[in-house]
């Protein structure tokens, strides 16, 4: 294995899901729902296979999906993207991020990301031989946010791009218009490309709405906007995502994507196109249901003695473990199966400055109510 990848080892999600399987613990670690996506959309995938959608789609993706994405962007956000040239279907958001970073960065270039950050960012940046510059988000008035001065100070002449993930995994923060405005100003002033990971775009709570960075003045022309069907339609195993960007950026990303995967699987594309056109009410119900699950898990975690931060979006709750007398989240999560029969994710692995996340642990609430209740009751053993 090349030197630059050695530090990555096995992802925390693989490690913790294996631990859950080995110990028979409840898995509130890896974020995947334990119920299926909309039935008609699942049927559409089966039909697509029966009807022969089984050969290579064109590199940019099937036109049916690109059109559905374009119409959805327009209806939902007032953003116009041309299905021919401004939309590229990818193998999940993961490939979209990797191909974007590989397309933009020369060795030694810098990419800013907010820590704690989704683990594939650091690996994609390392593959490009670029450097991740982490700007730390810290809890302030009940939500994780960043210091504008730290963000400004992170930009150097080598900065090529900024990766913005909102709604943010693993903190649950939905960036406000003020926060996005600051990021947009910096991108415009310093000539940066924004790569926006918006996989949780529809999963926001308490009336908080997701604002795509590309809708801010001057940003559409410099943003690679990334989405995925995985979270929107509870089909994380379908690995179907897409980017929307101006033609020059799409061409750059597609040049790389051609040699990573060439194209994405056909049947899912047709089914996701159907989902975007016909299942948005299902998505609204999912969102309302997830908000209840968030509250349910938060109540359970509080009753078990954790200090809990209220997320405005995503699948995840952050807890501070110090009220329970623990200090190190990695140590606690490795022992949690034995202590309580539950698996969670140590937030510190998503930091460059691990000590800043040492006492945080992430729990996922995208699970059946009875699973959440059982986990909450087991976690009471900790106090
Ligand atoms: N970005 C974030 C923030 C995620 O939480 C995930 C996991 N769904 C991904 C990207 C990867 O998405 P996909 O499964 O579509 O590759
Ligand atoms: N996005 C999911 C999470 O944050 C996990 C994806 C993965 O297993 N790589 O839990």
CATH code, 65: 3.40.640.10
pLDDT, average across residues 278-303: 98
Percent of the chain with pLDDT over 70: 100
Give the residue from 229, 261, 278 where a domain finishes: 278
Residue 326 in tokens: 């623990």
Mean pLDDT to the nearest integer, 6-32? 96
183-194 pLDDT tens trace: 999 999 999 999
What was the pLDDT predicted at 184? 98
Give the pLDDT band of residue 319 (cuts 50, 70, 90). very high
What pLDDT is recorded for position 312? 98
Mean pLDDT of 233-247: 98
From 232, 248, 278, the end of a domain falls on 278
Outline where the chain has alpha helix (H): 3-6, 12-23, 39-50, 63-77, 92-104, 119-127, 148-154, 177-190, 229-232, 247-260, 266-278, 280-303, 329-340, 369-379
Pairwise CA distance, residues 48 & 50, whole Å: 5
| Ligand 1 contact, 231 CB (< 6 A) | yes
CB atoms within 10 A of CB 327: 11
Q: Which of these three, 278, 305, 330, is where a domain ends?
A: 278
Specify whether 66 is located in the same domain as 167.
yes
Confidence of residue 51 (pLDDT cuts 50, 70, 90): very high
Residues 132 and 184 in one domain: yes
Residue 88 is inside which H or E element, if any?
strand 87-90
Average pLDDT on 346-368 reads 98
Asked if the interface predicted TM-score (ipTM) of this complex is over 0.85, the answer is: yes
pLDDT at 252: 98
Burial class (CB in 10 A: 0-12, 13-18, 19+), 39: exposed
- pTM comes to 0.98
Say if residue 379 is preceded by a cis peptide, omega within 30 of 0.
no
**Closest ligand to residue 366's CA:** 2
pLDDT computed for residue 372 by the predictor: 98
User: In the structure encoding, which two tokens stand for residue 92, read together?
Assistant: 């999940």
For ligand 2, whether the C-beta of 33 sits within 6 Å is no
Average pLDDT of every residue of the chain: 98
Task: Please report, for the chain, how many H helices and E strands are present, in that order.
Answer: 14, 14
Residue at token pair 């691990």: 354
pLDDT score of 227? 98
Q: Is 169 in the pocket of ligand 1 (CB under 6 A)?
A: yes
Which residue owns the Cα nearest ligand 1 atom 5? 169
Residue 240 · residue 92 · CB < 8 Å:
yes
Q: What is the pLDDT of residue 344?
A: 98
């Amino acid at each position: 294995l090349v030197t630059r990848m050695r530090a990555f080892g096995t992802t925390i999600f693989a490690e913790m899901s294996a631990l859950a399987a080995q110990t028979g613990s409840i898995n509130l670690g890896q974020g995947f729902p334990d119920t299926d996506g909309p039935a008609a959309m699942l049927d559409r995938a089966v039909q697509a296979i029966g009807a022969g959608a089984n050969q290579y789609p064109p590199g940019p993706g099937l036109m049916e999906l690109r059109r559905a994405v374009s119409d959805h962007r327009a209806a939902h956000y007032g953003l116009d993207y041309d299905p021919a040239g401004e939309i590229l279907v990818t193998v999940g958001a993961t490939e979209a991020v990797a191909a974007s970073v590989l397309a933009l960065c020369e060795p030694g270039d810098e990419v800013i990301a907010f820590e704690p950050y989704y683990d594939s960012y650091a690996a994609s940046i390392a593959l490009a031989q670029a450097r991740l510059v982490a700007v730390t988000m810290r809890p302030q008035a009940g939500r994780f946010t960043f210091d504008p001065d730290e963000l400004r100070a992170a930009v150097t002449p080598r900065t090529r791009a900024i990766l913005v993930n909102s709604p943010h995994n693993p903190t649950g923060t939905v960036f406000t218009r003020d926060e996005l405005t600051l990021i947009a100003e910096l991108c415009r002033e310093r000539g940066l490309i924004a790569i926006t990971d918006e996989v949780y775009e529809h999963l926001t709570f308490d009336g908080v709405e997701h604002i795509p960075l590309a809708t801010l003045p001057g940003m559409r022309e410099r943003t690679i906007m990334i989405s995925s069907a995985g979270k929107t339609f509870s089909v994380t195993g379908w690995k179907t995502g897409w980017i929307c960007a101006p033609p020059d950026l799409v061409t750059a990303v597609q040049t790389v994507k051609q040699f990573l995967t060439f194209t994405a699987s056909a049947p899912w594309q047709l089914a996701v196109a159907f989902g975007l056109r016909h299942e948005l009410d299902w998505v609204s119900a999912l969102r309302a249901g997830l908000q209840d699950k968030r509250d349910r898990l938060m109540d359970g975690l509080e009753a078990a003695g954790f200090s809990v931060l209220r997320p405005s979006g995503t699948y995840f709750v952050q807890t501070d473990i110090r009220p329970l007398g623990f200090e190190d989240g990695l140590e606690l999560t490795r022992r949690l199966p034995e202590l309580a029969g539950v698996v969670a994710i140590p937030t510190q692995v998503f930091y460059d400055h691990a000590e800043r996340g040492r006492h945080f642990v992430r729990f996922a609430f995208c699970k059946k109510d009875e699973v959440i209740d059982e986990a909450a009751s087991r976690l009471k053993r900790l106090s």
